[in-house]
Amino acid sequence: MDVISVIRAKRDRARLSDEQIDWVVDAYTRGAVADEQMSALAMAILLNGMDRAEIARWTAAMIASGERMDFSALDRPTADKHSTGGVGDKITLPLAPLVAACGAAVPQLSGRGLGHTGGTLDKLESIPGWRAALSNTEMLDVLRGTGAVICAAGDGLAPADRKLYALRDVTGTVESIPLIASSIMSKKIAEGTGSLVLDVKVGSGAFMKTLEDARELAATMVGLGTDHGVRTVALLTDMSVPLGLTAGNALEVRESVEVLAGGGPADVVDLTLALARDMLDAAGLPDADPAKALADGSAMDVWRRMIRAQGGDPDAPLPIAAERHVVPAPATGVLTALDAYAVGVAAWRLGAGRARKEDAVQAGAGVEIHAKPGAPVRAGEPLLTLHTDTPERFAYALEALEGAVTVAPEGTDFTPGPIVLDRIA
Ligand code: URA
């Protein structure tokens, strides 16, 4: 087997054989296929696609590249959720402790920012002392002790995805249904969760821009999960507008804590509760009441224990960026659009995301949103505040925001659409 013939086959729109897939995933994991060769193959897959059987085999090869975890010794059912990635998508932060407070165990293996979308680990690392890397034993201890753990997948879990995910981030090969489905599902199946709720984002700020592509991605992932014995459900949710009022690491942690304290923006609360209900249902706890667990502080208690168990101080002040720049509303009227992709790219350029896989992110960088579509705005009043430690980035971030905002005349009747667009089980 040689890698060039595998690349050529996919470049020329052929189906990859089981043997080719098993070999190339294994050889890349071992370092026998170079990053530039895997980049070329990833681009060929992005451009020419894979059929369902190829995706299933690619996923199985990624699972087989490492170990599988087993939570069957826990005395609670396990439930996990995974988002395909969005702008301002901080939902995992309030959701994991909330579902744990309702009786499930939530082993949440999370990732770092990918492209213009933020990563849960990058967000949590803005909490002083918090540690993403846990051994399997430590992970199990936190899960047993608090009911929820959010951490990086260990080196042994789907190592093929770990390498490929970082490579795709910097080679323009993220937005591919086969690569996204296999990346997410290999980690979730290897992790050993009993049930899984997928949050498949749709819209400008998502990797899937149309409902049709999002449905295809959701159905592919639900099929992969079900075939491996994981109860899997997908919600298709709107990502044409950023979620909540913040995009950026520490900014999003602050907003998540507001939700756990019983406040926070309505869209974040609504989506957190919708996903919690499906997770609890899939875990066999349909009578649990997540709204009550948010209101009575029990989800906040789990959050505080979970952050402490991973070395973090839930009471420590969060980092604040050194510099701010206010973007005013361009006109008076009703805000009818705030483009999620533009806000995501702006946050990324301000330092919340990375341009090269070895880059560090800025904890305080990002975009604060003062009005969401449907709200009245006045010309010249603050619409967004940009945060960064490196003010030379402001001009580049402002460029990303050109054309991102639409204001309709005063009195325009505009109601934002629902956050949950569809459900695939
Ligand atoms: N999340 C993942 O884990 N992988 C992807 O490819 C995209 C989002």
pLDDT in tens, 151-204: 998 888 999 999 998 899 889 999 899 999 999 999 999 999 999 999 999 999
Mean pLDDT of 204-232: 94
Question: CB under 8 Å to 289, separation ≥6 — which residues?
Answer: 102
Q: What is the per-residue pLDDT across 125-157, written as a single tens digit (0 to 9) for each?
A: 999 999 999 998 899 999 999 999 999 988 889
Cα separation, 248 vs 251, in Å, equals: 5
Q: Does any ligand 1 atom lie closer than 6 A to the CB of residue 183?
A: yes
Cα separation, 343 vs 125, in Å, equals: 21
Q: Does any ligand 1 atom lie closer than 6 A to the CB of residue 118?
A: no
The Å distance, Cα 351 to ligand 1 centre, comes to: 20
Buried-state track 18-49, b at ≥16 Cβ within 10 A, e below 16:
eebbbbbbbbbbeeebebebbbbbbbbbbeee
The Å distance, Cα 102 to ligand 1 centre, comes to: 27
Count of C-beta atoms within a 10 Å radius of residue 198 = 26
CATH of domain 323-408: 3.90.1170.30
Question: CB under 8 Å to 8, separation ≥6 — which residues?
Answer: none
Atom of ligand 1 nearest to the CA of 176: 6
Q: What is the per-residue pLDDT across 285-300, written as a single tens digit (0 to 9) for each?
A: 999 999 999 999 999 9
Selected from 2.40.50.840, 3.90.660.10, 3.40.1030.10, 3.40.50.1970, the CATH number assigned to the domain covering 80-309 reads 3.40.1030.10
Question: CB under 8 Å to 39, separation ≥6 — which residues?
Answer: 167, 171, 173
Domain boundaries, the chain: 3-49, 80-309, 323-408
Pair of tokens at residue 336: 């009818």
101 contacts 293 by C-beta, under 8 angstroms: yes
309 contacts 130 by C-beta, under 8 angstroms: no
Mean pLDDT of 235-263: 98
Query: Would you name the residues annotated as active-site residues?
Result: 82, 161, 168, 183, 187
85 contacts 120 by C-beta, under 8 angstroms: no
pLDDT surpasses 80 at 38: yes
DSSP per residue, 137-179:
HHHHHHHHHHSEEEEEPPTTSSHHHHHHHHHHHTTT----HHH
39 contacts 24 by C-beta, under 8 angstroms: no
pLDDT surpasses 90 at 320: yes
124 contacts 311 by C-beta, under 8 angstroms: no
- Please name which of 358, 394, 4, 344 lies closest in space to residue 170, comparing C-alpha atoms: 358
| Residue with CA closest to ligand 1 atom 1 | 84
Mean pLDDT of 388-410: 98
Of the pLDDT bands very low, low, confident and very high (cuts 50, 70, 90), residue 386 is very high
The Å distance, Cα 394 to ligand 1 centre, comes to: 28
Residue type, 72: S
Cα separation, 396 vs 380, in Å, equals: 21
Cα separation, 348 vs 361, in Å, equals: 9
Atom of ligand 1 nearest to the CA of 183: 4
The Å distance, Cα 333 to ligand 1 centre, comes to: 38
The Å distance, Cα 335 to ligand 1 centre, comes to: 31
The alpha carbon of residue 391 and the mean position of all alpha carbons in its chain are separated, in whole angstroms, by 27
pLDDT at 177: 94
Q: Does any ligand 1 atom lie closer than 6 A to the CB of residue 180?
A: yes
Q: Which CATH superfamily is domain 3-49 in?
A: Transferase, Pyrimidine Nucleoside Phosphorylase; Chain C (1.20.970.10)
Enumerate the H helices of 314-373 as residue ranges. 340-347
Q: Does any ligand 1 atom lie closer than 6 A to the CB of residue 114?
A: yes
Angle at 346 between CA 170 and CA 256, to 5 degrees: 95
Q: How large a percentage of the chain has pLDDT more than 90?
A: 90
pLDDT at 276: 98
Pair of tokens at residue 156: 């042994």
pLDDT surpasses 90 at 115: no
Angle at 72 between CA 70 and CA 74, to 5 degrees: 110
Cα separation, 246 vs 15, in Å, equals: 43
Cα separation, 33 vs 104, in Å, equals: 41
Residue type, 380: G
Which comes out higher in pLDDT, residue 87 or 207?
87
Helices and strands (H and E) in the chain: how many:
16, 13
Length of the chain as a residue count: 425
pLDDT at 271: 98
Q: Does any ligand 1 atom lie closer than 6 A to the CB of residue 182?
A: no
Same CATH topology for 3-49 and 80-309? no
Q: What is the per-residue pLDDT across 343-382, written as a single tens digit (0 to 9) for each?
A: 999 999 999 998 776 788 999 999 999 999 999 999 999 9
Atom of ligand 1 nearest to the CA of 85: 8
Cα separation, 171 vs 15, in Å, equals: 23
Mean pLDDT of 247-251: 97
Angle at 206 between CA 202 and CA 207, to 5 degrees: 105
